Every structure is written in C-alpha cells, then in structure tokens.
Amino acid sequence: MNVPARSAASEDSVRWIGDETGLLEMIDQTLLPGSTTLIRCERVEEVWEAIRALRVRGAPAIGIAAAYGVCVAIRGEGSLADLLQRAVSAADYLATSRPTAVNLFWALDRMRSRIAEGSFADAPALRRALLDEARAIHDEDRQMCRAIGRHGAELFEDGFGVLTHCNAGGLATAEYGTALSAIFTAHDQGKRIHVWVDETRPLLQGARLTAWELMRHQVPCTLICDSMAAQVMREGRIQAVIVGADRITANGDVANKIGTYSVAVLAHHHGIPFYVAAPSSTFDLTLVSGEGIPIEQRAASEITEGFGRRTAPEGVAVYNPAFDVVPARLVTAIVTERGVIAPVSARRIASVIGDAIEIA
C-alpha cells in the first residue's frame, strides 16, 4: 500500500508504525529520486517482496526490515502456539529473499533466538517481545552508524576528494549510513570534502540514491559513470575511496555491489587508500574467505531493459551478478563501530570483531 511521503528531511528509510499490532513502513527506493513514496507492509509476503525487489536495500536496512517482517507475520489473531509457528516460519521465509547480505541472516537469527527463549505468557506477550527485539536491532544500527562516522571521518583530511560506489547512506541503514556516515561526519566537522559518485550500473544506486542523499546534506559531489573512475583517479582528483559492504569474511575479503572490485583494483594501481565501512553485524566469521560468499544472480531484464527501456537485442545472453568480492589485500582498512581495523587480517578482525559476533 502506498501512502504520502514523510518530510524530505526524514532519514528513516524503514520504521515501525504503531504498537505490536502495527505495521512496517519504508521508502520505496526503486522510485527515487523522482518520487519519495512510502509503502506499508501488513503481510510478511509484502516484506519479502520489498526486500527481493530492492524497495528496501543496503545490508543493515535489509536486516532491520526482516526483523520487523517477523513482527508483521504475527499481527493477526491466533493462539500463542499458532503465533510461535508463524514467527518461525516467517523467519525461514524471509531468509530466502536475498542470499548475499549477511545482516539479513544475522537479524533473523536474533529473532529466532528471542523466540527460542520462550516463557511468553500469551500471544500479546510474544508480540511485544519480538517487537522489542526488532526495535533493539534498529536502535543498535543507529548507534553503530554514528560511531562508524566518527572513526571514519578521521581518515579524511580537509580538501580530500573521496570516491564512493553504490549507496551506503541513511537509505541503506537505520539513519546516517556507513560509508556516507564517515563523509557526513567529516563534512559536519567543517572539512571540505568533495565526493565523486560512481553511478553504479546496472541499477544506478549511486546516481539515484547516493547523489540524492549527498545533495540533501549539502555535501559537494560530482556524479560520474563507473567507467570514468580510472580517469578521475589518474587526474589526481581522488585521495581516498570508501564503500560499504554486504558481507565481510574472517580474513577480510569484502562482498559489495558489483563494480566494487574494479574500483579497488584501480585504487591499488593509483596508490589511493581503499576503505570499507561496515558494522560488526556485516562480518561473517564462519566463512574463511570470500570464495564461500554466495553471489546473487539477478534478472537479465535489469541490463537489457533497465528502467523500462530496451537497450539490448532480444534473446542476448546476460550475466548479472549483483555483487563481487574485494580480496583483503586490496583493503587499506575496515571502519567499524569498534574502531578502524588496519592492517586487514584474520587476526586483527578476530580481536576487534570476534566477541561482538559471539555476543550477538
């Protein structure tokens, strides 16, 4: 269901409306920047579709939406036993929406753990407990984003040109973003930062979303085609690269939007530091390296008929991976809410992130 947009100043890409019998509301990111339209999800199937269709996207935001999706699944009437079964089934169902962003599975595992704790007096008590858990996931992400911004801003000097790829701002998280949080915080500190925005083919998240967010925050920015990054680096316009992440493995390999690997190679060639910004919930320490990360394959039409206009001949073969993996050796540092991981190594990651994963 579509509803009128909130104020353009709002940073809530996802939010819960009402009490434990309420509903999930989110900005439909597929319509930006032309229209700031909200959708309301009252059925778990609508939440699944919103995640799958990229109406909500960005690893942290996907996790938050999925957590609330479990709450959506138990809005209706039913006995405690019925709602417990629906909650577990909803978590399993939502986990099938997208395969790469680990925050989705992390958030759903937290909801499952809360369900498994039991001791619910009745159905209303279960609803309240699960909504409290989803809200905690949401609030923790807000705090992590702000902390990432504080740590990341220290990496930028006054006058830096910074390149970013895809979107890792408030739309992709609970509030201020990850990669963009570092940029926003540096800007707030008075540093003159100029952001070079890769348009990010084929769905143009950089052009449609990142440029939109930067302009709303009055951060100077310039939009470029992905294929222009090498030239802009060669001209000396870029002093740092910072991106978000959808999954980071135990050795520091990073999965992010397709095209990120290319940017990392270019940065390495030109001697430009390549930073990744992500909360601890984006680390998957069960995977030794990026070779084990599942890479989502998306529809051919995103390339052949992007945004409703055919740009390739009928029947052409298409390969459309949504993500690629940057090897840890190309990552200068990973910025987390717990500090900056540098150098990037399995030992350093375990010392900074290991207990955070265990606690979660």
Known catalytic residue at 246:
yes
What is the rounded radius of gyration, in angstroms, for the C-alpha atoms of the chain?
A: 20
Instruction: Give yes or no for residue 241 having a pLDDT over 90.
Output: yes
Give the pLDDT score at 4: 41
Beta-carbon-side half-sphere exposure of residue 71 (alpha carbons within 13 Å):
31
Residue 175: per-residue pLDDT: 81
Write b or e for each residue in 50-63: b if 16 or more Cβ atoms lie within 10 A of its Cβ, otherwise e. bbeebbbbbbbbbb
Q: Is the pLDDT of residue 55 over 60?
A: yes
Predicted pLDDT at 8: 35
Name the catalytic one among 28, 226, 246, 324.
Answer: 246
Q: What is the pLDDT of residues 144-181, one digit of tens each?
A: 999 999 999 999 999 999 999 999 999 999 888 999 99
- Residue % of the chain over a pLDDT of 90: 91
State the pLDDT at residue 76. Answer: 86
| pLDDT value, residue 230 | 98
Model pLDDT for residues 9-21, shown as the tens digit of each residue: 345 789 999 999 9
Helix axes 80-94, 123-153, angle to 10 degrees: 30
* Amino acid found at 175: E
Domains in the chain and their CATH numbers?
2-145 (1.20.120.420), 148-359 (3.40.50.10470)
Q: Is the pLDDT of residue 359 over 70?
A: no
pLDDT at 240: 98
Identify the pLDDT of residue 356: 63
Q: How confident is the model at residue 242 (pLDDT cuts 50, 70, 90)?
A: very high
Query: Per-residue pLDDT tens for 73-127?
Result: 999 889 999 999 999 999 999 999 999 989 999 999 999 999 998 789 999 999 9
